[in-house]
Amino acid sequence: MVLLGPSSDSLRQLISVCEGYAEQHGLRYNTSKSEFVLFKASKYNPTTIPRIMLCGVPLKRVERFKYLGHILTEDLKDDLDIERERRAMAVRGNMLARRFARCNEQVKLTLFKAYCQTFYTCSLWVGFTQRAYNALRVQYNNILRMLLRLPKHCSASNMFAEVRTDDFYAIRRKRVGSLLRRVRGSGNGLLKVLSESLDCPITKYWVEVAIGRAK
């Protein structure tokens, strides 16, 4: 379970509600496995952080945590999550190349699409360095080269065109476009308003990625 609040006071109020519910239903929170993160604002960084308590126990502050497989950091940067995906893709790619080296091209492409085009939560990547982003793209390209036994420095664009497979940028555009459509079709009024407003930074970014103006 995750609680989000714009201030420490609001977070305390949310925790109080949870504590009351737990007491009424005979439940107990595991405070040793509970922690909190302070997302830093660009123009406001408090010098002192008030204690956050759960059932009378102060919670540990962390710089990052993983939620549903996605790594969140206090500076709201996505480099660590991109690196998580790169490493996972490298493991899957090496496994495919080792176990299916003697298969024909069509089988290899089918496996490549199933195991290497997931890009889990890539539609949420907004703040990242070009270095981390390029490292994932290069890893993706190299896996296909390795599977098809192509030269290391062959053209990536020609390679994907010849085998009629989406390249890195095409997959990213599709994932972002899919998320944007689902958010706009949501029954949640707040999500719908934000998704239809180009004043919202993340919505503006999604639109630019979906139409190919941003990475």
How sure is the predictor about 104, in pLDDT bands with cuts at 50, 70 and 90? very high
User: What is the C-alpha to C-alpha distance for residues 14 and 57, in angstroms, rounded to an integer?
Assistant: 16
Residue 16 half-sphere exposure toward CB, CA atoms < 13 A: 7
Strand partners, 70: 67
Q: Give me 51's structure tokens.
A: 């204690």
Instruction: Identify whether the C-beta of residue 185 lies closer than 8 Å to the C-beta of residue 179.
Output: no
Residue 84 phi/psi, 5° resolution? -60, -45
Q: What phi and psi, each to the nearest 5 degrees, are found at residue 41?
A: -95, 150
Single-letter amino acid code for the residue at 119: F
pLDDT band of 100, cuts 50, 70, 90:
very high
Q: State the pLDDT at residue 113.
A: 96
pTM: 0.88
| CA-closest candidate to residue 135, choices 124, 143, 126 | 143
Return the number of other C-beta atoms located less than 10 Å from residue 81's C-beta: 23
Residue 169 pLDDT > 80: yes
Strand partners, 54: 57
**Tokens linked to 30:** 């595991």
**pLDDT, tens digit (0-9, with 9 covering 90-100), for 179-189:** 988 888 888 98
pLDDT digits (tens, 9 = 90+) for 65-87: 999 999 999 999 999 999 999 99
Rounded-to-integer distance, Cα 192 and Cα 179, Å: 12
- What is the rounded average pLDDT for all residues in the chain? 91
Would you kindly state where each structural domain of the chain is located, as residue ranges? 8-62, 168-215
Of the candidates 89, 193, 81, 67, the residue with the CA atom closest to the CA atom of residue 126: 81
pLDDT at residue number 49: 82
